[in-house]
Amino acid sequence: MTELDIAGRLLALLRETGTEPRPDMQLEALTLAVAADLPVLLWGEPGIGKTAALTQLAEALDLPLTTVIASVHEPSDFSGLPVVGDDPARQGVPMAPPDWAVRLVRAGRGLLFLDELSTAPPAVQAALLRLVLERRIGALKLPPGVRIVAAANPRSSAADGWELSPPLANRLVHLQWLHDHEVVVRGLGGTWPRATLPRLDPEQLPYAVDFARRAVCRLLTARPDLVHQLPKSEARRGGPWPSPRSWEMSLHLIAFATAAGASRDVLSLLVRGTVGDGPGLELLAGLDRMDLPDPEDLLADPDAAELPERGDLRQAVLDGIVAAVRARPDQARWDAAWQVLARAVETGAPDLVVVPANTLAALRRTEWDVPESVERLAGLVSVSRRADDARTGARVGAAAAVAR
């Protein structure tokens, strides 16, 4: 055995690593987007482990890995090379795909890894548009079993880097790839986190689709300005931003995350990586409110009102009740709203009632009597005198005295 053979054995031993089930939000977000068949872009500093993560992902999913360094290719490598046939006037000139694309089609499945995307010049990025969106290279269409993942370094640390073009950026799910000290140490010791596709609950699929559609449509109905917002700065245009295309991707991700029972942290990474931080956080806040009780149901039966325990959600319910009374005011609804506020004081933090109570008091009409439930709130908020500035009596006087 030669010295090189011995060196080869040592190298083989160094490459032998194992995996273990371990919580990893980044990896879970990546596998969820891969399962949803959405192209993903991993952003991270050089040497952070993006390529290694993709290699492990391909092995774990038993997918052949095809790596293409985008920056060293010409635009024709992605749009196809013209091949002149026997009679181009009648048959046309077909665009021949590269060999790696042919291998992927023959395999019928695989993981296409587009590396160094931020160092690809604008002409190459333009040629990648059809590949990322339509899965076409020349006249060839990639099969459904092929998933696309890309990686890029920030322009500040990329070798001769470019900003990502807005059309290409808006076709990708952007994930910030950061190193985890414990994962790195454990991995260098020979054990990396195991990448697995999410397990989707077949019973939850119809609900997941309905939930995702309602969440996105409800937000965009209330905030039409969020449907399309092209950032003004060049740097932000190269990241996630809201458009009809990226909202559709968010809808898919919410449906998959719901069916898989993914954590809110994982969904946050995906949604913010698709439509941006601001719109993404608004969408996540809307998801929290999806299962809140209907204000009309609470007004119809205030004695049976079940309010959320979480403070922000309880505040949203109380604000919704006041808004419902404002939209359709009458004595009975106004009285019922006071009953719900009184119940909120009995079952939760009293300070959450202050703003809704003062707003509700301002909605009173002069002919409306003051309900007894106002007295139960008088010690917390100064609403009695505002609620009955025209009425005098022992009951209101007592409430005002407590309020003072």
Instruction: Name, in order, each residue with C-beta under 8 angstroms of 288's C-beta and a sequence gap of 6 or more.
Output: 312, 313, 316
User: Would you state the pLDDT for residue 384?
Assistant: 45
Beta bridge partners of 145: 109
Mark whether 299 and 283 lie in a shared domain.
no
For the chain, report the end-to-end CA distance as a whole number of angstroms: 96
Q: Is residue 4 part of a domain?
A: no
Q: Is residue 361 part of a domain?
A: yes
CATH code: domain of residue 56: 3.40.50.300
Q: Is residue 10 part of a domain?
A: no
Mark whether 44 and 140 lie in a shared domain.
yes
User: Would you state the pLDDT for residue 399?
Assistant: 47
Domain count, the chain: 3
Mark whether 260 and 331 lie in a shared domain.
no
Look at residues 270, 273, 275 and name the one whose alpha carbon lies nearest to residue 254: 270
Alpha carbon 82 to its chain's center = 40
User: Would you state the pLDDT for residue 86?
Assistant: 66
User: Would you state the pLDDT for residue 383?
Assistant: 46
Mark whether 167 and 105 lie in a shared domain.
yes
Mark whether 100 and 175 lie in a shared domain.
yes
Mark whether 64 and 126 lie in a shared domain.
yes
Radius of gyration of the chain (CA): 29
Q: Is residue 183 part of a domain?
A: yes
User: Would you state the pLDDT for residue 85?
Assistant: 67
Of 224, 259, 288, at which residue does a domain stop? 288
Q: Is residue 91 part of a domain?
A: no
User: Would you state the pLDDT for residue 91?
Assistant: 67
Residue 99 amino acid letter: D
User: Would you state the pLDDT for residue 395?
Assistant: 46
Q: Is residue 367 part of a domain?
A: yes
Mark whether 301 and 283 lie in a shared domain.
no
Q: What is the mean pLDDT of each run of 10 residues along the chain (404 residues)?
A: 92 88 89 94 86 84 89 82 70 78 91 89 88 86 92 72 86 91 86 86 94 92 90 89 96 96 94 95 85 85 85 86 90 91 84 86 86 68 48 45 40
Give the structural domain span for 223: 203-288
User: Would you state the pLDDT for residue 381?
Assistant: 54
User: Would you state the pLDDT for residue 276?
Assistant: 95
**CA-to-CA separations, 207 to 17, 201, 283, in angstroms, rounded:** 40, 10, 18
Instruction: Name, in order, each residue with C-beta under 8 angstroms of 333's C-beta and a sequence gap of 6 or more.
Output: 299, 324, 325
Q: How far apart (Å, rounded) are the C-alpha atoms in residues 377 and 341?
A: 8
User: Would you state the pLDDT for residue 343?
Assistant: 87
Give the three-class secondary structure for 182: helix
Beta carbons of 146 and 88 less than 8 angstroms apart? no
Phi/psi of residue 75, nearest 5 degrees: -55, -35
Residue 1 amino acid letter: M
Instruction: Name, in order, each residue with C-beta under 8 angstroms of 302's C-beta and a sequence gap of 6 or more.
Output: 336, 337, 339, 340, 343
Mark whether 314 and 276 lie in a shared domain.
no
Q: Are strands 140-141 and 136-137 parallel, antiparallel or unpaired?
A: antiparallel
CA 46, 48, 49: angle at the middle one, nearest 5? 115
Mark whether 31 and 149 lie in a shared domain.
yes
Of 156, 173, 193, at which residue does a domain stop? 193
Give the three-class secondary structure for 145: strand
Of 288, 308, 342, at which residue does a domain stop? 288
User: Would you state the pLDDT for residue 348?
Assistant: 81
Residue listed under structure tokens 């991707």: 249
Q: Are strands 173-176 and 109-115 parallel, antiparallel or unpaired?
A: unpaired
Q: Is residue 6 part of a domain?
A: no
Mark whether 23 and 147 lie in a shared domain.
yes
Q: Is residue 88 part of a domain?
A: no
Signed CA dihedral, 102, 108, 110, 113: sign only = positive
Mark whether 162 and 209 lie in a shared domain.
no
pTM of the model: 0.75
- Joined tokens for residue 370: 């003051």
Mark whether 307 and 253 lie in a shared domain.
no
Instruction: Name, in order, each residue with C-beta under 8 angstroms of 128's C-beta and a sequence gap of 6 or more.
Output: 70, 78, 114, 117, 120, 168
User: Would you state the pLDDT for residue 244?
Assistant: 96
Length of the chain: 404
Give the three-class secondary structure for 364: coil
